[in-house]
Each structure stands twice: as C-alpha cells, then as structure tokens.
Amino acid sequence: MKIKLLIPVYNDWQSVIKLLEIINSEVSGLSHEFSVIIINDASTENKPEISINLDKLNSIKIINMKNNQGHTRCIATGLKHIFEKEEFDYVIPMDGDGEDRPEEIKQFVDNLNYSPDKSIVGERIKRSEGLIFKFCYSIHKLITLTFTGETIKYGNYSCLPKSIIEKMINEKATWSSFSGSLAKVAKDRTAVPSERGTRYFGPSKMSFKNLIIHSLAIISVFKKKVLVRSILFQLVYVFLIHQKLSIIMLIPIVLVLALLILVFIISKRENLNALNNSLSNILNIDIIK
C-alpha cells in the first residue's frame, strides 16, 4: 500500500525535521510504502537543509505556497494535490509540531486490515493542554453534540482511503473545517485511541480567538441542523418560561441567537470554488528525496 503523510507547516522547520526523523523510525518495521508531502504555508523563515538519514521514507516533497492561507486550507490543498497528482492508497494528515504523535501511525496501519475502506480517526483520549483549554474543549463538544447531533472527538490526525479523499475535495466545507467535513462525508468511521502530544519546540501558535473560530467552523458545517434545533429550543424554552418571564430568563435565548448568527457568518468561509482553484496557489515543489 502507498501511504502519503500530509504535513502543513508555517515557520516550524525545527519541529518538522524532528518529526520526519521519528516518522522514519516508526515506519521502519511496517511493510508499506510511506511518503511525505509537506505543505509550506508561505513560511517567512528559510527552509533548512534536511541532512538526516530518512531511508524508510520512499519520497519527501515540499509544496511551497505563494500566499499564506492557514492550516485547514493547506490540508485541503494538499488533499487535492495528492488526489490529482500522486499515486496513493491512503493519506494521513498530521500536524508538524509533534502534537500528533508519530508513534500512533502503526495503529492506523494495523486497523487498515479490518477497515480498509473506512476513515480511521485518532480519537482523543488524553490531552496535553492546561485546564482552561480542556474545559473550553468540553464545552465545545457539548455545544456541538447539542446543536448538530454529532460527536466529534478528533482533529486532522486520521487515515483516509482514496474514496473519502475524493469526497473531501468535492465538499465545500473542507475549505473551512477538516474534521467537520470528514464527519459530513464519512458517517461510517473507525476510531483509534490517540493522545495529544506536546510540541517539540516552542509554544503553541493557536490563539484563543482562532480556537473559537475553529470550533464554530466545525459546527457551521451542520448549520441547517443548528437552525432547526435552535428554533425548537426557543419554542420549548419560551413555552416553559412564559409565565415567569424576566430579563435574566431571556439570556439563554440571546445566547442561542448569537450562536446561530456566528455559525452562519463562519459558514461563509466554506468555498468549493476556492478549493477547486487551490493548486494555483502553489509556487513550486521541492523534491527532497
């Protein structure tokens, strides 16, 4: 089997080089062909020379983007490039900073024997972030389940067959939310336990604002469900409180309306036309190996 590892990076070359070294070690005992495609999101730092021995990786390419477009859109562009330009059976998107642990690649590969046609997602069982982030993440999961009916406990780290890649690159939500789009196009998924690793070098580059946008982008993939459930909530809630109406009792209604408005605003980020034209943002491709 030909497996492509898809890694977006922006000014984090030190982490990526360490990641490649560990990946090379982890796949050494696996009887499949592994290749790496790095999406360089218009980094402002110069790429260093990769001088380490990566003999277990069949090929390494760096796709350099003309303009910075963000983590999710880099993955979307990478999926489209791989589907149209590469020979492959599966794609494993993963972060380039160590938070997606390469030690878990073997779990994905082992599960291909039982679920060769299913998407295999790394379901988070343990996170490395602080208490505030974990609390916010729990709130995000609760809101997502309540208003969409979806339980999404995974990020980009997954193993996707070619059939799912084709659906992903033809789904506008892929341009805005990887995990939301995958939940939409691949209802039948297999999960493997995954621990959130710690960054190899430096602090996280994800701001709290971007985390909120990320959460809303996932929910917005299912905006029609959100609309229906919000209306039902409002009707039931008003019926229950109509006899003891007060300003304080109106707070939940205002919050749900605010969520609904934000969801529809964020949903405008979904763009199939931009995804279809994403390869035009490629500056050049460096073949490292």
Query: What's residue 226's pLDDT?
Result: 95
Residues 6+ apart with CB under 8 A from 58: 2, 33, 34, 35
- What's the whole-number mean pLDDT along residues 181-200? 92
Which tens digits make up the pLDDT trace of 8-33? 999 999 999 999 999 999 999 898 99
pTM of the model as a whole:
0.92
Query: What's residue 52's pLDDT?
Result: 85
- Round to whole Å and give the CA distance between 256 and 218: 17
Q: Which is more confident, 246 or 189?
A: 189
Q: Which is more confident, 128 or 135?
A: 135
Task: Among 134-138, 150-154, 156-160, name the one with the lowest average pLDDT.
Answer: 134-138
The two structure tokens encoding residue 243: 């006899």
Percent of the chain predicted with pLDDT > 70: 97
The angle subtended at Cα 212 by Cα 202 and Cα 193, nearest 5°, is 65
The two structure tokens encoding residue 228: 């229906």
Per the CB < 8 A criterion, the answer to whether 15 and 98 are in contact is yes
Query: What's residue 135's pLDDT?
Result: 80
Per the CB < 8 A criterion, the answer to whether 230 and 147 are in contact is yes
Phi, psi of 207 (to 5 degrees): -85, 165
98 — alpha (psi -120 to 50), left (phi > 0) or beta?
A: left
Which tens digits make up the pLDDT trace of 36-91? 999 999 999 988 888 888 999 999 999 999 999 999 999 999 999 999 999 999 99
CATH 3.90.1170.40, domain 2-129+152-205+270-287, yes or no: no
Q: What is the DSSP letter of 49?
A: P
The two structure tokens encoding residue 178: 């990887």
Q: In terms of Cα–Cα distance, which of 191, 190, 192, 195 is closest to 125?
A: 195
Q: What is the DSSP letter of 99?
A: S
Phi, psi of 170 (to 5 degrees): -110, 15
Predicted confidence band at 202 (pLDDT cuts at 50, 70, 90)?
confident
pLDDT at position 131 over 80: no
3-state secondary structure of 288: coil
**Every domain of the chain and the residues it spans:** 2-129+152-205+270-287, 223-264
Which tens digits make up the pLDDT trace of 96-129? 999 999 999 999 999 998 888 999 999 987 655 6
Which tens digits make up the pLDDT trace of 153-189? 899 999 999 999 999 999 999 999 999 999 999 999 9
- Round to whole Å and give the CA distance between 197 and 98: 6
